[in-house]
Amino acid sequence: MSKRSTKSALLLGASAVLALAMTACSSSGSAPTAAGKTSATGSAAASTTASSAASSTSASDTSSAPSSGASDSDTASADPSATPPAITNKTSDWVERSGFKFKVDVVTYPYNPPAGYSLHPASNQEYLKLHVELANTAGAGAFSMMDLEVRDSADHEILPDIVATDELPANVRLNLLNLKPGEKQTGELVFIAPKGAKGLRLVFKGTLMTAQGTVTPGDPPVIDLGV
C-alpha cells in the first residue's frame, strides 16, 4: 500500500471516530433534559396532591363543625322540669292582693264567639272567657287585665287578649279603669289558650305596687278554673 493510501485511510478512520464521539455526546446531553422534565412533572404532581389533601382536610373540618341552628333550637325549647304554680283557691272564692279583691264567677272554655264577630281563634288556639268581680279595698292606681294571667298544666303562660275582649258587648265587657277604694266592677274578659289546654288556673298577680308605694310582697293567689 502506498503512503498516500495509508494517510487517506487514517483520515477516514479519525473522521469516523470523531463522528461517533459527537453522536455519543449528543445522546448524553438529551438525557438530562428529559430527566429534568420528568422531575418537574413529578414535583407538580406532588404539589397538586398535597394541595388536594389540604382542601379535603379543610372541607372535612368545616362539615364536622357543630351547627348554630341546633344550639338555637335547644336554647328555645321548653324546660321539661317546669311546673305550674300550686292552686290555692277555687272559683267563687274571694282572693285579695295589693289592695284589690277578686273572684271568678263563671268559666267558659272553649268560648266560641258568635258568627258576626270579626275575630276567631286560630286552628291551634281556643278562647277562654271568664266572668269576674273586682273590688278596690285599699288599692292605688288602675288595675289592668294584664295583672291577671292563666297557666295550664304544662306551665304555659296564657294572657288576656285586649282585642278579643273589646269585641264583647259593652254591657258585659270588663272595663278595668281606675277604681276608687270601695268601688266594685263586674264583667267578662277573654284569654287565648293553646288548643286542648288542661289544668287551667288563674294567677291573681295584683298590681306591682301597693297603696303604700312598695312592691307587692308574697306569692299571688292561684285559682283553680276547673278545666
- Per-residue pLDDT, 145: 84
Tens of pLDDT along the chain (227 residues)? 544 444 444 444 445 444 444 444 444 444 444 444 333 444 444 444 444 444 444 434 443 333 333 333 332 234 556 789 999 999 999 999 988 999 999 999 999 998 888 888 999 999 999 999 999 988 776 788 888 999 999 999 999 999 999 999 989 998 766 788 888 999 999 999 999 999 999 999 888 766 676 778 889 999 999 99
**What does the DSSP 8-state code read for residue 122?**
-
If we measure between CA atoms, which residue out of 176, 116, 122 comes closest to residue 144? 176
| 101, 95 Cβ separation under 8 angstroms | yes
Determine the number of helices (DSSP H) and then strands (DSSP E) in the chain. 3, 9
If we measure between CA atoms, which residue out of 206, 209, 211 comes closest to residue 219? 206
Q: How far apart are CA 181 and CA 102, in angstroms?
A: 14
Predicted structure pTM score: 0.62
Q: How far apart are the first and last CA of the chain?
A: 141
Beta strands in 33-183 (DSSP E): 89-90, 95-97, 100-111, 125-136, 148-151, 157-158
What is the third-level CATH fold of 89-224? Immunoglobulin-like (2.60.40)
| 201, 86 Cβ separation under 8 angstroms | no
- Per-residue pLDDT, 89: 95
C-alpha distances (whole Å) from 162 to each of 49, 146, 165 are 68, 9, 5
